Amino acid sequence: MQKEQTSIPKHKIARAASIVGTGAAIGANYVKYKAKSAFKSEGAKEAFHEDTAERTFDTFSKLKGGPLKVAQMLSLDRNLLPPAYQEQFSKAQYSAPPLSYPLVVKTFKQELKKGPKEVFDEFTPVAVAGASIGQVHKAYKDGKEYAVKVQYPGVANSLESDLKIVRPFAIRLMNMDGKSIDLYLNEVKERLGEETDYTLELSRGKELMEKSADLKNIRFPNYYEDMSTRRILTMDWVDGVHLDQYYGQEHSQQERDQIGQALWDFCHFQVHTLKEFHADPHPGNFLVKNGELWVLDFGCVKKLPEWFYTSYFSLMSPEALADDALFESLLRELGLLLETDGEYECNKLIPVFKESVELLSRPFFQEEFDFGDPEYLDEIYEFGERTGDDMELKKLTSSRGSAHALYLNRTYFGLYNLCGSLKAKVKTNMPEFQG
């Protein structure tokens, strides 16, 4: 673990000053590198991005909360950021600098009216993992092991001001216009507001776990309400291997396929049967133990309105992909085509949307899909880079579509990345569409 933090900037002025200070340092860095004739070379650009990414993550990790959660989400999307940022921001998944023990004790006394060692027989003073919203400690009571998630102080109260502070930074970093970034950040704010309520995570997690109990090779830790509050969440401790560590270990293809299948079935069942799904598919939320997949975190859960689900997935039906008029009508239902769009806009946008839908839905049209073949994910990344570099297209696509698609798209591409990293062959199928 990294050096512990003894405090978190709480006042919005102090938090804003941290972001502004980092922005100024990045600006000075840019001047320094651009002054070199070699800035045009790939090596100089990579050095600039590496320095900038390290400074940015250092600031976000000290602020915790909204800035660090945005970094965590961005790390999942290879098309949004240069590799240096992905590498740094991926640390937000479960290795942010932990808070010092006195701050943990203070939270316990505020929430449970007792210190950690009054609640448990033993409690590790140093966190075993630290992420964006809280950090995890290992505890023991009556011979049983527990994982105890403790929320960072002030995180819930600073979310709205944090995202306003991050907004101009994100616009530059993600090369997005203001309207597009607002759509993104508003959805992030809503989900983050839910994630800071551990009582909501506990009740929602228990409900989703009960509904998903019959899924093969999927396991969940138990939650303990008597040792949990809005800012403290206690669950079973699970000795397993995080997915990103599992990738690099020696495992049989059969077991990799089994874990990939469990991931697919878990996501598929929740999206298409429950219309409510675990929407945070980063490796830190999953462990592998004895050939089974353990799902650890239900802080980020997204519900889909029936109308959106029906229109969104009907786009992937063979009938819609083969029928231009039907495909266009569904794009209009989803707000991807607007009333004001003329012939030029339609001719520019419809082929791009069709290519995107074909890419996303390709695994559904095969009985078994080999995510270990890198060509598929490379094709997705190439599509993202190509469309992202088309400035005319970016102007046309800004502020289109529904915010509901943000977490759904991220969940599916996150699922594909996880299965790709596992090199898993998965039995896939087209869902039964409604409507």
Task: Output 114 or 283, whichever has higher pLDDT.
Answer: 114
Q: Report d(CA 227, CA 147) in Å as an integer.
A: 11
Assess contact for 306 and 313: CB atoms under 8 A: no
Task: Output 248 or 26, whichever has higher pLDDT.
Answer: 248
The mean of the pLDDT values for the chain is: 79
Task: Output 48 or 100, whichever has higher pLDDT.
Answer: 100
Per-residue pLDDT at 129: 81
Per-residue pLDDT at 405: 85
Top mean pLDDT of 45-49, 98-102, 172-176, 419-423 is at 419-423
Structure tokens at 430: 């087209």
pLDDT in tens, 332-357: 999 899 888 899 999 999 999 999 99
Per-residue pLDDT at 299: 82
Run of H or E including 288: strand 286-289
Assess contact for 96 and 132: CB atoms under 8 A: yes
Per-residue pLDDT at 392: 82
Q: What is the SS3 assignment for 346-381? A: HHHHHHHHHHHHHHHHHHHHCCEEECCCHHHHHHHH
Judged by DSSP in three states, 39 sits in helix
Cβ burial of 120 (10 Å; 0-12, 13-18, 19+) is: buried
Structure tokens at 17: 């000053």
High-pLDDT (> 70) share of the chain, %: 69
Q: Beta strand 122-123 with 134-141: parallel, antiparallel or unpaired?
A: antiparallel
Where do we find the tokens 């009054």? Answer: 118
pLDDT in tens, 21-32: 444 444 444 444
Assess contact for 158 and 16: CB atoms under 8 A: no
Task: Output 256 or 244, whichever has higher pLDDT.
Answer: 256
Per-residue pLDDT at 382: 86
Cβ burial of 201 (10 Å; 0-12, 13-18, 19+) is: buried
Single pTM value for the model: 0.77
pLDDT above 80 for 276 = yes
Residue 208: how many CB atoms within 10 A of its CB?
20
Task: Output 224 or 156, whichever has higher pLDDT.
Answer: 224
What are residue 95's phi and psi, to 5 degrees?
-135, 30
Residue 59's pLDDT band (boundaries 50, 70, 90)? low
Per-residue pLDDT at 285: 87
Q: Report d(CA 218, CA 258) in Å as an integer.
A: 10
Task: Output 264 or 394, whichever has higher pLDDT.
Answer: 264
Of 82-91, 106-115, 296-305, the one with minimum mean pLDDT is 82-91
Where do we find the tokens 């397993």? Answer: 240
Q: Report d(CA 36, CA 127) in Å as an integer.
A: 43
pLDDT in tens, 142-189: 999 999 999 887 777 666 666 776 676 666 655 556 666 776 677 777
What are residue 430's phi and psi, to 5 degrees?
-75, 130
Segment 79-90 shows an average pLDDT of 54
Domain segments of the chain as ranges = 12-93+158-175, 240-435
Per-residue pLDDT at 91: 52
Distances (CA, A) of 6 to 9, 103, 152, 335, 363: 10, 7, 11, 47, 48
Per-residue pLDDT at 53: 64
